[in-house]
Amino acid sequence: MQSPINLGPKILEPVNALKEANMKLKKEYLILTAVMVALILYLALHRSNRTHYTLPEISSIPGKHISKIEFEKADGTVVLNKKDNSWHIGPKEYPADSDKIEDILNIIENLRVTALVSESKNYVRYDLNPDKKIHVKAWQGKSLIREFDIGKPAATYQHTFVKLAEDPNVYHARGDFRQKFDPTVEDLRDKTVLLFVQKDLREIKIVGDKKIVALDLEQVVTADGEKKDAADKAGKSSGPQASWVDANGKKVDAVKVGRLLGFLNRLECEAYMDDSKKENFKDTVYTVTLQGAKEYTLSIFAKKNKDEKTYPAVSSENDYPFLLSDTQINSLKANIDEIKK
């Protein structure tokens, strides 16, 4: 009979080592699990503690109640005043761009903070230090009703860093709006230099570049001998149905006339010439005269030198001389040439 197998120490050693390794691994798993649980609890409690603050409530202000706005920057202060339901800029009372003012009013009246960002009073990192911030004030009559500082946009460009009056903390305000309060006076000015009611026009005359365009709204004679505009005969105001004729009585393509008037209506300048007066300009290059309920005029003058990219001009609908670009003058010429064909 064979003797039983003797499992000596040399065979049992690897088995014992494996058991010890498994025990050690289990201990490591338990320690790792405990660390993860502790970390999760810490983060949860830390996050909970961070939300234990109350955001300041900012009352809404109807924009119609705001009568004065001031935003102060390191390089100067811009003041806007409401006068006769229109906004004007600074002591010279330049008319302001209504769309840009509307954007500013919407931000001021609907300002809301969405999160507390910092209590450290370290304003440099948020561009809320004196050299970078924009200090905004708004009045109703003589009462200051809104005051806050604007810093830079947040990294996501979904919020802007702000600091409220008499509150040292930095907050997130909803929206990226710093650029709305960072324009120059020139940027805020209303650049519209010619504006008219197109349907009311009855005569168009343009003189320049050795060419003359003279158009009249066609008239018809009714049964009782009364002259009326072609559009009026149908009981409609002038518009696409109106017929324009040249000096020889020839009908002109209504689309071409509409394109010319579309270019002239709400014409915006490149910039204003505040150091000049309207009466000082000579050497007219083009003169546009439109007759409707009133007469509208646009006079364009020769460049001071050929290398310049703008033309001086004046308009009956604007108190200030201004500049029109080469591109705008070329568009005017192209529209005139189309009508002359």
3-state secondary structure 41-79: HHHHHHHHHHCCCCCCCCCCCCHHHCCEEEEEECCEEEE
- Smallest CA-to-CA distance from 138 within 76, 190, 84, 60 is with 60
Phi then psi for residue 105, to 5 deg, are -60, -40
Are 303 and 311 in contact by the 8 Å Cβ rule? The answer is yes
3-state SS assignment for residue 35:
helix
Terminal C-alpha separation, the chain: 128
Q: Tell me, what's the pLDDT at 174?
A: 94
Total-model pTM: 0.75
Q: Tell me, what's the pLDDT at 234?
A: 38
Q: Tell me, what's the pLDDT at 231?
A: 46
Amino acid at 285: V
Q: Tell me, what's the pLDDT at 14?
A: 57
Please identify which residue in the block is written with the tokens 């109807």.
62
- Give the Cα separation of 114 and 127 in Å (integer): 18
User: For 142-147, which contacts have Cβ atoms below 8 Å and span 24 or more sequence positions?
Assistant: 145/61, 145/65, 145/66, 146/61, 146/66, 146/108, 146/109, 146/111
Per-residue pLDDT of the chain (341 residues; tens, 9 = 90+): 555 555 455 555 555 665 666 676 677 677 777 777 777 766 655 544 445 678 999 988 887 899 999 999 999 999 999 999 999 999 999 999 999 999 999 999 999 999 999 999 999 999 999 999 999 999 999 999 999 999 999 998 999 999 999 999 999 999 999 999 999 999 999 999 999 999 999 999 999 988 899 999 986 545 454 555 544 443 444 444 569 999 999 999 999 999 999 999 999 999 999 989 999 998 899 999 999 999 999 999 999 888 999 999 999 999 999 999 999 999 999 999 999 88
- Give the Cα separation of 328 and 260 in Å (integer): 12
Are 310 and 285 in contact by the 8 Å Cβ rule? The answer is no
Are 217 and 228 in contact by the 8 Å Cβ rule? The answer is no
DSSP codes of every residue in 308-325: -SEEEEEETT-SS-EEEE
Handedness of CA 35, 36, 39, 41 (dihedral sign): negative
229-268: pLDDT as tens digits: 544 443 444 444 569 999 999 999 999 999 999 999 999 9
- Smallest CA-to-CA distance from 101 within 61, 55, 58, 68 is with 68
